Amino acid sequence: MAVRISRLAAGLAAMAVLGTVAGCGGGKPVAAADRTGELTVWLTVDAQESWPDLVAAVNARFRKTYPKIKVNVQYQQWTTKNQKIDAALAGRNVPDVVEMGNSETTNYIVNGAFTTVDPAKFDHSAEWLPALRDACRDNGKTYCVPYYVGARVGIYRTDLLAQVGVDRAPRTFPELRADLDKLKAKFGAADKNFSAFYMPGRYWYAAMAFVKDTGGEIAVRENGRWHGALSSPRSVAGLTAWKDLLDAYYTGDRSKDNGDEPAVVGQGKVGMFYGNTWEAKAATDSRSGGDPALRGKFATFAFPGPSGKLLPPFLGGSTLAIPAKSGNQDLAQDWIRLFTDRTSQRRLIAADTLPNNTAQLREVAAGGVNGPAAQAAERGWVTPLAPGWGAVEKSNVLQEMLQDIATGKRSVADAARAADRRIDAVINEH
Amino acid sequence: MGTVELPGPPRAAPPPHRPRTARAPRPRRTLRRRLLPYLLIAPTVLALAAVLGYPLVDLVVLSFQDMTRRELFSGAPPPYAGLANYRSILTDGFFWTVVGRTALFTVACVAATMVLSLLVALLMRRVAPWVRTVMTGVLVAVWAMPVMVAASIFRWLSDADYGVVNWLLGLLPGLDFSKHNWFEDPWQGFAVITGVVVWGAVPFAALTLQAALSQVPAELAEAALVDGARPGQLFRYVTWPVIKPSAVLVTSLSAIWDFGVFNQIWLMRGGQPEKEYYLLGVYSFIESFAVNRYSVGAAIAVVTVLMLLVGAVVYVRQLVHLGAAE
């Protein structure tokens, strides 16, 4: 209560001071302190769930410069966000700041949805992570600002591994397979629902990491045109390695994706899985279907790939963009500047995500839950920055290919060729 | 008002034709009487025009344009594409596969719905009144269940790892259905989806047919039985002619609904239907909002509407038929 009263008092005092200041002005261009209006910011629910205090702190800092601007933060679900953005952008009443996944930006940029920003105004912009920076650039101009990134890691049950006599995370691919073999022999024999390694068939972020590991690509650009490259020998080798792992250690439904991974892991019948660091926490949280009894029984590790190096993780990240139709572009830029500066990034690191720049990547504690992610992030990759990439994702080309491979409906080469044809059909379209 | 003054002296240029001047005093009344039905139906027509007509016109216009996201975001008018969108879908083999699949799905769903609901309706005529009340209650409860909930439940029931269906089938001797994936093979997958659709459609059809069955005069059935009719003959020559109009109505309505099925497929495939699961509605949605080919999606939707009109014609003809009989 005391806090609220003092805040109210401060607000009133500020308003009184401003009132006198405003009285003296007149004739000059409107000062920052006198600007009125509303700034609408669309963030995804991650901010609401994991760093609401950062949003509040940035709004407070923003208010110091623009006391009369009301910042209206609205939280969106990833699944419906873009439909809402499309609808808003087609109209006149657009949000001033929108959060965009780094695999979503290109299509909006080439279609003129966002305004340019000046990277020089932002902290650490020279060291922005390529995975985010490249997703924001087109023809040498920058259209969005990197926000944060996440990388997948290996996660294992420490207690189960201890029961088969293993007391540390695997460091090489053969070591990983040896551990999985032991888990399978001990627990899989008694329970046919036990998966030594959880890898549902439609989990494309994981499968594509194997493609990247063997030097393959999802799609490549030649002479200005993109085309699918999944049927190239190297990509096929990666897909085959992925399939081998799945055949050997996964017992679940092969036509599923990883949407309910924490809940399945929470059932206790999974030895290891490949996922985001927060998923280990979610697997022990009954609200997401997990089991609280498993608390403290998970550890993360940098996942070794069949190539001998770390498995290159997909760097799924977010950026912040300003719609070209926004009437508050300078305010929006100022808000983003505060929300992505080094102070804010430090808060994000504390919330177990990776920062938007390589300089602060070093601040991530190597021994912490996200240490392996920071370590693997250097080999990270992003989806092809092609105008039609969104269409490839949303028409489930990769998922269907992987499902066909995982279920054995088609050979790896066959399924990859079919997927390439479907990619070619849409990837160059705006 | 001018018509009232007609009996007056002829002017320089008399009206060229007025053969019905003898009935001159009546026009005002007939005019009002003629207008009244239109006035009464006007609110409905206006509401339909606003919520259905305008989007439909917009859809047709869109299908002749080449709308991309650039136009969407900038607000610039999209260029006209003529028949290009229609040409591209009609010459695409996959489109015809989807059309055939949609038609087959519709026939299967409608047939199953009609047979099952007729059986349920006939059963309801036979059972004790309290059983009939219970059955009606159950049917209404099913009818009231949102598609969203029903589809989720069926999805869980048929889950490969934890589904009850696999467990139940596994109890039968000699069958091993553990980890059986119902959606790997589209035929089996569509069987499950047909199950949801039919399950949701039976209540309306059964209750309507049950109501129609109650119109069959008891003495007619008795007379037939006295004359030595067998149950099959009784149904064929006495019951069926009475309930036929209702049956045709329900059939055509079901066909229209099943042809446009979208939610059940979308929900049961977790919002990511495989190509083998595309029906026309899903295909149009994916083209429009996943691939962002708004105009091609619109063209598919227009073709779908045209095909649905065939079903609608049967329905309307039957309505007119019923009206004429009264």
- A110-143 residue pLDDT tens: 999 999 999 999 999 999 998 899 999 998 999 9
Question: Does residue A15 register a pLDDT over 70?
Answer: no
Is the CB of B178 less than 8 angstroms away from the CB of A89?
Answer: no
Q: What is the mean pLDDT of chain B?
A: 86
Is the CB of B272 less than 8 angstroms away from the CB of A403?
Answer: no
Closest chain B residue to the Cα of A201, Cα to Cα: B184
Residues of A in contact with B272 (CB under 8 A): 202, 257, 396, 399
Question: Does residue B10 register a pLDDT over 70?
Answer: no
Alpha-carbon gap, residue A208 to A196, rounded angstroms: 21
- A111–B contact, CB cutoff 8 A: yes
What pLDDT score does A35 carry?
87
Residues A322-350 have a mean pLDDT of: 94
C-beta of residue A39 within 8 angstroms of C-beta of residue A97: yes
If contacts are CB pairs under 8 Å, which of residues 97-136 in chain B contact chain A?
A: none
Closest chain B residue to the Cα of A407, Cα to Cα: B184
Residues B268-296 have a mean pLDDT of: 90
| Residue among A253, A325, A423, A430 with most chain B CBs within 10 A, to mutate | A253
- A400–B contact, CB cutoff 8 A: yes
Give me the residues paired with residue A69 across strands. A37
Question: Does residue A48 register a pLDDT over 60?
Answer: yes
- A38–B contact, CB cutoff 8 A: no
What pLDDT score does A369 carry?
79
Alpha-carbon gap, residue A267 to A248, rounded angstroms: 20
Is the CB of B274 less than 8 angstroms away from the CB of A403?
Answer: yes
What pLDDT score does A113 carry?
93
Closest chain B residue to the Cα of A114, Cα to Cα: B73
Closest chain B residue to the Cα of A110, Cα to Cα: B70
Is the CB of B270 less than 8 angstroms away from the CB of A259?
Answer: yes
- A191–B contact, CB cutoff 8 A: no
C-beta of residue A311 within 8 angstroms of C-beta of residue A151: no
Q: Which residues of B59-69 are buried (b: 16+ CB within 10 A; e: fewer)?
A: beebbbbbbbb
**For A167-170, which contacts have Cβ atoms below 8 Å and span 24 or more sequence positions?**
A169/A299, A169/A300, A169/A301, A170/A301, A170/A304
CATH code for the structural domain at A153-313+384-426: 3.40.190.10
Residues B132-150 have a mean pLDDT of: 94
What pLDDT score does A374 carry?
87
Residues of A in contact with B160 (CB under 8 A): 252-253, 255-256
More confident residue, A49 or B20: A49
Is the CB of A253 less than 8 angstroms away from the CB of B290?
Answer: no
Residues of A in contact with B88 (CB under 8 A): none
Of A53-62, A366-375, A400-409, B71-80, which gets the smallest average pLDDT? A366-375
What pLDDT score does A278 carry?
82
Question: Does residue B115 register a pLDDT over 90?
Answer: yes
Residues A366-385 have a mean pLDDT of: 84
Neighbours of A233 (CB within 10 A): 11
CATH class (in words) of the domain with range A7-151+315-377: alpha beta
Question: Does residue A28 register a pLDDT over 80?
Answer: no
The minimal CB distance from A400 to the residues B72, B161, B275 is found for: B275
Place of tokens 């659709």: B197
- B29–A contact, CB cutoff 8 A: no
Q: Band of the pLDDT at A178, cuts 50, 70, 90? A: very high
Per-residue tokens: A229? 């490259």
What pLDDT score does A175 carry?
96
Contact residues for A178 (Cβ-Cβ < 8 A; gap 6+): A170
The minimal CB distance from B272 to the residues A193, A399, A430 is found for: A399
Residues of A in contact with B271 (CB under 8 A): 79
DSSP conformation class of A28: S
Is there a shared CATH topology between the A7-151+315-377 domain and the A153-313+384-426 domain?
yes
Q: Would you tell me the crossing angle of helices A412-426 and A233-249 to the nearest 10 degrees?
A: 120
- B176–A contact, CB cutoff 8 A: no
Is the CB of B274 less than 8 angstroms away from the CB of A400?
Answer: yes
| Domain-wise residue ranges, chain A | 7-151+315-377, 153-313+384-426
What pLDDT score does B8 carry?
42
- B184–A contact, CB cutoff 8 A: yes
Q: Please give the share of chain B, as a percent, with pLDDT higher than 90.
A: 54
What global pTM score does this model have?
0.79
Q: What confidence tens digit (pLDDT) does each residue in A228-250 have?
A: 999 999 999 999 999 999 999 99
Is the CB of A324 less than 8 angstroms away from the CB of B73?
Answer: yes
Contact residues for B9 (Cβ-Cβ < 8 A; gap 6+): none
Alpha-carbon gap, residue A184 to A178, rounded angstroms: 10
Q: Band of the pLDDT at B325, cuts 50, 70, 90? A: low
Number of residues that this document lists for chain A:
430
What pLDDT score does A18 carry?
42
The minimal CB distance from B292 to the residues A112, A259, A391 is found for: A391
Is the CB of A253 less than 8 angstroms away from the CB of B286?
Answer: no
Number of C-alpha atoms within 13 angstroms, CB side, residue A380?
26
Q: Band of the pLDDT at B13, cuts 50, 70, 90? A: very low
DSSP conformation class of A225: E
Q: Band of the pLDDT at B25, cuts 50, 70, 90? A: low
Residues of B in contact with A192 (CB under 8 A): 178
Chain B nearest-CA distance from A134, in A, is 21
Is the CB of A394 less than 8 angstroms away from the CB of B291?
Answer: yes
Of A61-65, B155-159, B319-323, which gets the smallest average pLDDT? B319-323
- B69–A contact, CB cutoff 8 A: yes
Alpha-carbon gap, residue A428 to B169, rounded angstroms: 48
Q: Band of the pLDDT at A259, cuts 50, 70, 90? A: confident
- A403–B contact, CB cutoff 8 A: yes
| Residue among B88, B152, B155, B161 with most chain A CBs within 10 A, to mutate | B161
Q: What confidence tens digit (pLDDT) does each residue in A269-320 have?
A: 999 999 988 888 889 988 878 899 999 999 999 999 999 999 999 988 999 9
Chain A nearest-CA distance from B266, in A, is 13
C-beta of residue A375 within 8 angstroms of C-beta of residue A311: no
What pLDDT score does B326 carry?
52
- First-to-last C-alpha distance (Å) of chain B: 38
C-beta of residue A235 within 8 angstroms of C-beta of residue A214: yes
What pLDDT score does B129 carry?
92
The minimal CB distance from B161 to the residues A202, A252, A426 is found for: A252
Question: Does residue B323 register a pLDDT over 70?
Answer: no
Out of A272-286, B79-93, B224-238, the most confident range is B79-93
More confident residue, B26 or B170: B170
What pLDDT score does B44 carry?
92
Q: Band of the pLDDT at A2, cuts 50, 70, 90? A: very low
Number of C-alpha atoms within 13 angstroms, CB side, residue A387?
17
Check residue B189 and give left, alpha or beta (phi > 0: left; psi -120 to 50: alpha): alpha
Selection from A179, A387, A399 nearest residue B275 by Cα: A399
Neighbours of B170 (CB within 10 A): 12
Q: Band of the pLDDT at B75, cuts 50, 70, 90? A: confident
- B92–A contact, CB cutoff 8 A: no
What's the Rg (C-alpha) of chain A?
24
Question: Does residue B20 register a pLDDT over 90?
Answer: no
Of A142-146, B17-21, B108-112, which gets the smallest average pLDDT? B17-21
Residues A139-156 have a mean pLDDT of: 93
Chain B nearest-CA distance from A409, in A, is 9
Closest chain A residue to the Cα of B268, Cα to Cα: A256
| Residue among A78, A251, A394 with most chain B CBs within 10 A, to mutate | A394
What pLDDT score does B9 carry?
43
What pLDDT score does A326 carry?
93
Number of C-alpha atoms within 13 angstroms, CB side, residue B57?
6
Residues B48-57 have a mean pLDDT of: 91
